[in-house]
Amino acid sequence: MSNNLFNRVWDLHKVSSLSETMDQLFIGLHLVHEVTSPQAFQALRERNLSVLYPERTIATVDHIVPTQDQRIRPFADSMAEQMLAAIEINSQEFGVQFFGLGSESQGIVHIVGPENGITQPGMTIACGDSHTSTHGAFGAIAFGIGTSQVRDVLASQTLALERLKVRKIEVSGSRSSGVYAKDIILKIIAELGVMGGIGYAYEYTGEAIASLSMEERMTICNMSIEGGARIGYVNPDQTTIDYLRGRPFSPEGAAFDKAVKFWQDIASDERSTYDDIYQFDINSLGPMVTWGITPGQAISVEDTLPIVSETSESEREVAKKAYEHMGFSEGQKLLGTPIDVAFIGSCTNGRISDLQEVADVVKGRKIASTVTGLVVPGSQKVKKEAEARGLDRIFTEAGFQWRDAGCSMCLAMNPDKLTGRQLCASSSNRNFIGRQGAPKGRTLLMSPAMVAAAALSGAIADVREII
Amino acid sequence: MDTNKIIVKEVSGTVLPLKGNDIDTDRIIPARFLRSITFEGLGEQVFCDERFDQAGNPLDHPFNHESYRGAKILVVNQNFGCGSSREHAPQAIMRFGIEAIIGESFAEIFAGNCTSLGIPVLTASIAEIEALQAHAQENPSEEFVVDISHPHITYGARTIALQINDAAKQALLNGTWDSLETLLQERQNIAATAAKLPYISSFPYPQSTG
């Protein structure tokens, strides 16, 4: 029996057996951000502990930072200011490398890691954020943790964890025009359900995954957690190797060759075994849009909304609640539904290729006057590259606001929020009630190109009819 | 060092039934309450946007019901705690006064966070959970007892067997749910494991990136 990547990486990082089912696992990279770390650093102070592997710990700020006038301190929000000050002090006091505001490497933690070559295949990666699964795109075992576990990793560089089962998700076929990585993952979640992945790591494989760029793979792995899977990964291949070559934290010269050997050896192969296999073809996949209050409540954009009585019993209660919150009717189409806000950004879709896709749709056009459009680059590097390509001008000429890097309206911890019952076409990852900052605000998740199409039309539209 | 050895083997008290599948951590504690650098005050903010209207008037919500005041056991349905990894969610529930959570199923990160705080998370079948919720609704002042070592809940003459993750059970019964001390005992093995990782020993991050 040959192991898959998940088990190979796990075995390599196992420090000890804590019980029959619980292992102590070494964490090769600990990413830290401002929101889930202050209590953890404080716990270290209280116990008189230091950060055990500061060289394997990297911090940045993303969740709470304003995306306008970002460098004007103190912030208008005194709590945000205090939170920023805390990570600045903590990273200095504990000797942790910090990409703060003003650093050219600042940005959403799940964008900063990959674009700097910090995220590499075969690593274990933890961060106090559920979208840490993003880094699995490189063939790393990457997962979100709570603040007590952030404390554990800071102090011991290890975690007490149980091994997961592995489900191979084999994706065949090829995408038609107007269909993106976001549509693939929304379809997988709709099929397997929002709790289908509990207890599993998802291995995404097959010809459709192999043909994706690294940034597209990140979008897919990012939303694994929305399907209940704490971990999602893609085996490293030539696309991975080509992406990593020449990045600031990537090995160079002979060391890069050694790294490539390790990355190739750690990948699953044709003899690898799995606890479960799910096969799925994307030849007929269309653009997906969520209509409810969980990421699993999604339909193809041309379809009609489900009839509650026809859904399975376990889905019915949430479907009812979704209709109540969203104000939609059973059996209606989403096409033509007016939107108020269009949000482009987040760790799901805030990378340069996402912004390029949006620019390709909106170039030379204007967004509807009834729509507030926001483009928030995922990092300072994404921002710089977008400006070098002239994308910022395309966005602003179309009527979008062009902002500084951060998580922004994905979770609305900064001033970027929906108000009232606004309906937002969003490239982010969660359509939970109140997620975008207004208790009655409403979110429709879709690909960045679909958000762009909705912004232009002022209503939900099929991007295939525009491009 | 804080040598935490609080053993959790039983929780007794009244039950707060909270119905609904896929209750996410954004609903449990909206993101704006994560702007504090401590966990203080979260107990009052739990489920804030469902418990209060925009003007701060209380709404009809189980966490507001006078009859459930002081409840120690929360009984929920399917996929409770999905979404964000924020430990603020179990912190808020704990600080509200809840000491054990029983449900049909739990999101993984949420369940792990509960264990890290010494909150037992147990499961039962849909029918058993619904029966439990209905009984608590009709008898809100009735005392329930949750036993961790032979996991079950007792109320009146009834006993329902519960499931609990083995590792979580051991951690609660041994008082080692705060795992840090246990982890730090392995310092030598930690160093040995690190030393054999190719990305640390053979091709580490370049020195100049600092």
Q: Chain B: nearest CA to A401, how far in angstroms?
A: 23
B154 interfaces chain A, CB cutoff of 8 Å:
no
Which residues of B are less than 8 Å from A141 in CB distance?
none
A420/chain B closest Cα distance in angstroms: 10
3-state class of A346 per DSSP? Answer: helix
Contact B179 A160 (CB under 8 A): yes
Residue A2 has pLDDT above 70, yes or no: no
Considering the entire predicted model, what is its pTM?
Answer: 0.97
- CA count, 13 A, side-chain hemisphere, B167: 19
B127 part of contact set with chain A, CB < 8 Å: no
Beta strand A341-344 with A372-375: parallel, antiparallel or unpaired?
parallel
**Of A443, A352, A423, A426, nearest in space to A390 by CA:** A352
The Cβ of residue B45 has, within 10 Å, a number of other Cβ atoms equal to 21
| B32 and chain A in contact, CB less than 8 A | yes
Q: What is the pLDDT of residue A1?
A: 46
Cross-chain residue pair B167–A199, CB shorter than 8 Å: no
Is residue A331 within 8 Å of residue A309, measured between CB atoms?
no
Mean pLDDT over residues B59-73, rounded?
A: 98
Average pLDDT over residues A311-322: 95
> Which chain A residues contact residue B186 at CB under 8 A?
15-16, 24, 156, 158
pLDDT category of residue B5 using cuts at 50, 70 and 90: confident
pLDDT of residue B3: 47
Classified by CATH at the fold level, domain A165-236+261-281 comes out as Aconitase; Domain 2 (3.40.1060)
CB-nearest partner of A82 from B37, B79, B166: B37
Kindly tell me if the per-residue pLDDT of B156 is higher than 90: no
pLDDT of residue B206: 87
d(CA B204, CA A161): 25
Which of A86, A157, A256 is facing B190, going by the closest CB pair?
A157
Judged against a pLDDT cut of 90, whether residue A64 lies above it is answered with: yes
Per-residue pLDDT averaged across B161-182, rounded?
96
Residues in B 165-184 with any Cβ partner in A closer than 8 A: 165-167, 170-171, 178-180, 182-184
Q: What Cα–Cα distance (Å) separates residue A294 from each residue in A110, A285, A325, B47?
A: 22, 20, 12, 17
* Segment holding A59, helix H or strand E: strand A57-60
Going along chain B from its start, the domains and CATH numbers come out as 10-174 (3.20.19.10), 178-210 (no CATH)
Residues of B with CB below 8 A from A56's CB?
200
Half-sphere exposure of B65 (CA within 13 A, CB side): 15
**Does residue A253 have a pLDDT over 90?**
yes
Long-range Cβ contact pairs of B126-133 (< 8 A, separation 24 or more) = B126/B77, B126/B78, B128/B160, B129/B75, B129/B76, B129/B77, B129/B102, B129/B103, B129/B104, B131/B160, B132/B15, B132/B17, B132/B75, B132/B102, B132/B160, B133/B15, B133/B17, B133/B19, B133/B75
Query: Which residue is closest to A151 within chain B, CA to CA?
Result: B180
- B-chain residues near A317 (CB < 8 A): 19-21
Name the CATH superfamily, with its identifier, for domain A5-162.
Aconitase, domain 3 (3.30.499.10)
Nearest CA in chain A to B165: A21
At B7 the pLDDT is 96
Fold agreement between A165-236+261-281 and A288-465: no
**Record: fold of A288-465:** Aconitase; domain 3 (3.30.499)
Angle subtended by helix axes A391-398 and A380-388, to nearest 10: 90
* Four-residue CA torsion sign, B76, B96, A34, B205: negative
Considering only CB atoms, which chain A residues are within 8 Å of B79? 194-195, 198, 228
DSSP helix/strand/coil, A217: helix
Residue B119 has pLDDT above 50, yes or no: yes
Kindly indicate the confidence band of residue B209, based on its pLDDT and cuts at 50, 70 and 90: low
Q: B79 vs A195: CB contact, 8 Å cut-off? A: yes
Are B180 and A155 an interchain contact pair (Cβ–Cβ within 8 Å)?
A: yes
Question: What is the DSSP annotation of B77-117?
Answer: -SSBTBS---THHHHHHHHHT--EEEES-B-HHHHHHHHHT
Residue B80: which pLDDT band, with cuts at 50, 70 and 90? very high
A chain contacts of residue B33, beta-carbon cutoff 8 Å:
none
Taking only the tens place, the pLDDT of each residue in B19-54 is: 999 999 999 999 999 999 999 999 999 999 999 999
C-beta neighbour count of A268 within 10 angstroms: 24
> Chain B residue closest to A295 (CA)?
B83
Chain A neighbors of B107, CB-CB under 8 A? 195, 198, 228
Spans of all domains in chain A: 5-162, 165-236+261-281, 288-465
The DSSP bridge partners found for residue A341 are A372, A424
Phi and psi (nearest 5°) for A205?
-150, 180
pLDDT for the residue numbered A214: 98
**Interface touch B109/A199, C-beta < 8 Å:** no
Is the Cβ of B200 closer than 8 Å to some Cβ of chain A?
Answer: yes
Percent of chain A with pLDDT over 70: 100
Identify all chain A residues contacting B180, using CB atoms and an 8 Å cutoff.
47, 151-152, 155-156
Sheet arrangement for strand B100-103: B15-17, B73-75, B100-103, B121-123
Instruction: Please name the residue of chain B whose CA is at the shortest distance from the CA of residue A126.
Output: B85
Q: Which residues in chain A touch residue B182, judged by CB atoms under 8 angstroms apart?
A: 18, 24, 160
Contacts of A129 in chain B (CB under 8 A): 84-85
Q: What is the mean pLDDT of residues A160-180?
A: 97
Counting runs of H as helices and runs of E as strands, what totals does chain B give?
Answer: 10, 8
Task: Concatenate the DSSP letters of all residues of A163-195 into one string.
Answer: PPEEEEEEEES-PPTT--HHHHHHHHHHHH-TT
Nearest CA-CA distance, residue A37 and chain B, Å: 8
Nearest-CA neighbor of A147 among A126, A162, A131? A126
Model confidence at B2: pLDDT above 90:
no
pLDDT at residue A373 in the model? 98
